[in-house]
Amino acid sequence: MRMAMNTVILFVFGAVIGSFLNVLALRYPKLPLARSACPKCGTRLQWFELIPIISFLALRGRCKNCQVKISWQYPLVEIWTGLVFVTVPMLFIPVFCLYIAISIYDFWHKIIPDFLVFFAIVLALVSSFGFRASNLAAGAILFLFFASVWLFSGGRAMGFGDAKLGLSIGFLLGLPLALSSLVLSFWLGAAYGITLMLFSRKNITMKSGARITLKSELPFGPFMVLGAWLAIIFQLDLLHITEIF
């Protein structure tokens, strides 16, 4: 019973942090000091409109004043952050909060902010007690892999920000988990891209109005973070690294 209560408390606290991460990522590089308001009508939101997940459901996903639709991003990020809080080691939580903010920003702008990713690299080293051979090797492998793709494709296939994010993920997870997260990230990214192309054939386009093709630019950071999260949850060793060493 006590464990269940602790899990609920952690999830709720994580959802609150997720609400902050939404605001941080959407307003970055400005600090989210201003009060939240509807982006359409400008009405400042009351406290009961800011309760993570619950307010979105109670308002049926619409602004109370002008009835404009509220993005599903808000509750989804809050739920994701809550789940992260109850599924990853406590020392990893601050790093994953940065990863979630990076994912949101990368999803919308297709770029990974240097300040956030450098902070994530430092936190990853600290959270994993730093300088372990497995963690250093994993960071180097992921960084070199993504940096090579970026270099040889001239930045068309991958951004250099993905290499820096890979460095952080490797430092945090160590070899078996980091390499598993790499595999998962490509599986998830491929599934997402194929799904978008299928919808595009049905006359559904990207927000910019462009159709999705194999040449379309898609953010990869969110799939790297999802892959890292799933690798931790299921303690994956997809490449059987532990058997080799």
What confidence score (pLDDT) does residue 171 get?
96
What confidence score (pLDDT) does residue 28 get?
85
Q: Are residues 61 and 95 in the same domain?
A: no
Q: Are residues 35 and 134 in the same domain?
A: no
Q: Are residues 76 and 122 in the same domain?
A: no
Q: Are residues 70 and 97 in the same domain?
A: no
In 10 A of CB 18, how many CB atoms?
27
Separation of alpha carbons 37 and 149, rounded Å: 41
Domain limits for position 43 = 1-87
How many domains does the chain fold into? 2
User: Considering 47, 72, 87, which residue would you say is the last residue of a domain?
Assistant: 87
Q: Are residues 171 and 231 in the same domain?
A: yes
Q: Are residues 52 and 100 in the same domain?
A: no
Report the half-sphere exposure of 13 (CA within 13 A, side-chain side): 11
Residue 149 near residue 103, CB atoms below 8 Å: no
Separation of alpha carbons 106 and 158, rounded Å: 12
Q: Are residues 77 and 41 in the same domain?
A: yes
Q: Are residues 6 and 74 in the same domain?
A: yes
**pLDDT one digit per residue (tens) for the chain, 245 residues:** 778 889 999 999 999 999 999 988 988 877 665 667 776 776 787 877 788 999 999 888 888 778 888 889 999 999 999 999 999 999 999 999 999 999 999 999 999 999 999 999 999 999 987 678 899 999 999 999 999 999 999 988 899 999 999 999 999 999 999 999 999 999 999 999 888 888 766 554 445 555 666 667 789 999 999 999 999 999 999 987 776 65
Q: Are residues 26 and 112 in the same domain?
A: no
Cis peptide before 176 (omega within 30 of 0): no
What confidence score (pLDDT) does residue 200 get?
67
Task: Provide the token pair at 198.
Answer: 């299928």
Residue 132 near residue 85, CB atoms below 8 Å: no
What confidence score (pLDDT) does residue 29 get?
78
Q: Are residues 241 and 120 in the same domain?
A: yes
With tokens 């990713």, the residue in question is 117
What confidence score (pLDDT) does residue 201 get?
60
What confidence score (pLDDT) does residue 240 get?
78
Q: Are residues 235 and 145 in the same domain?
A: yes
- DSSP class of 37: B
Q: Are residues 221 and 116 in the same domain?
A: yes
Predicted TM-score (pTM) of the model is 0.91
User: Considering 52, 72, 87, which residue would you say is the last residue of a domain?
Assistant: 87
With tokens 């601050």, the residue in question is 94
What residues are paired with 37 via a beta bridge? Answer: 44
User: Considering 36, 69, 87, which residue would you say is the last residue of a domain?
Assistant: 87
